[in-house]
Amino acid sequence: MSSAERQAPSSEASDQAYDGLLDKEKQLNALSERMLLAVAVQYGKDSYEYEMAGGTRTSERKRLG
């Protein structure tokens, strides 16, 4: 058995683990986005709570021009 044949299964398992990680990251991002939107609906986008949840308050955004 060559070294390439021995590495193939672990490489495949590693690819599957990486794909699983990317999928979980997408799920977490979607959950985080929904949570931030829920806070915005409850308290408003210019609230302290929105900032504490990870959002940027409307009043703290830089204006262009």
* pLDDT greater than 70 at residue 6: no
This prediction has a pTM of 0.70
21-62 per-position pLDDT tens digit:
999 999 999 999 999 999 999 999 999 999 999 999 999 988
| Structural domain includes residue 18 | yes
pLDDT over 80 (residue 65): no
Look at 30 and 7; give whichever has higher pLDDT. Answer: 30
Q: Could you write out the three-class secondary structure of 29-46?
A: HHHHHHHHHHHHHHHCCC
In angstroms, the CA 9 to CA 11 distance is 5
Q: Name the band, by pLDDT with cuts 50, 70 and 90, for residue 10.
A: confident
Q: Find the domain containing 27 and state its range.
A: 3-60
- pLDDT given for residue 21 in this prediction: 97
Number of domains observed in the structure of the chain = 1
